[in-house]
A = this chain, B = another copy of it.
Amino acid sequence: MTETQKKFRRRAEARPDEVLNAALAVFVEKGYAAAKVDEVARRAGVSKGTVYLYFPSKEALIEGIVRRAVAPIALRAVPDLETFEGDPRLPITMLLTVLIQQLARPEASAVPRLVIREVMSFPFIANFYRNEVLGKVMPALIRLIERGVETGQLRPVDPELTVRSIIGPLLAHVALGELFGITPAKGLELERFLANHLDILFHGISAQPEEA
């Protein structure tokens, strides 16, 4: 097999992935319904027929996108969250740090944005995300908080509900910026936001120091 052949083979194998990348870009930009298969093909550098060679329908594209992203960065943190033994504030800090870094990268945040945008139209997405992503990250987080409460490091908060207090401000920050173009004035927003959020969060959930 010559080099050329190998390159071609490699390309051929990468085709579905390239199509999904193009579809993701178009769907995020225009919304699924307004996106055209023609444009997906054009951006993927293939013909319209080729898209249908790999995916049976336009809907299969969005399903493929969501499935392929099954293991987002966040998921890799699950084992860490599950097995962590010490102060729960440390993994929470790490999780939020990773999340916010990812959300700052358009390629990485594209799938979550697509999911939020189209989840109402595709029950499959809600099920899949609930089962594969949220259903795994959230229980890990909940158990982390439970352990924190049990060990007395955290005040007796409701672990299930407290998850919302951990990720919610991040969600609000991203939504304000991405959807409405509302960003804080001073710059360095991400770091400053994260510091302020964690400051409030940890003051809010940490048990009082004994001497207080």
Determine the distance from Cα of A53 to Cα of B161 in the docked complex, in whole angstroms.
Answer: 48
Q: Is the CB of A120 within 8 A of B31?
A: yes
Q: Is the CB of A182 within 8 A of B130?
A: yes
A161 to B: closest C-beta gap in Å: 4
A196's partner among B165, B175, B203 (CB-CB below 8 A) is B165
Determine the distance from Cα of A34 to Cα of B118 in the docked complex, in whole angstroms.
Answer: 11
Instruction: For A189, give the chain B residue with the smallest CB separation.
Output: B161
Instruction: For A131, give the chain B residue with the smallest CB separation.
Output: B180
Given contacts A126-B180, A175-B171, contact A31 B121 (CB under 8 A): yes
A204 within 8 A of B: yes
A160 within 8 A of B: yes
A48 within 8 A of B: no
Map CB proximity to B onto A153-177 as digits: 1 under 8 Å, 0 otherwise.
0010110111111011111110110
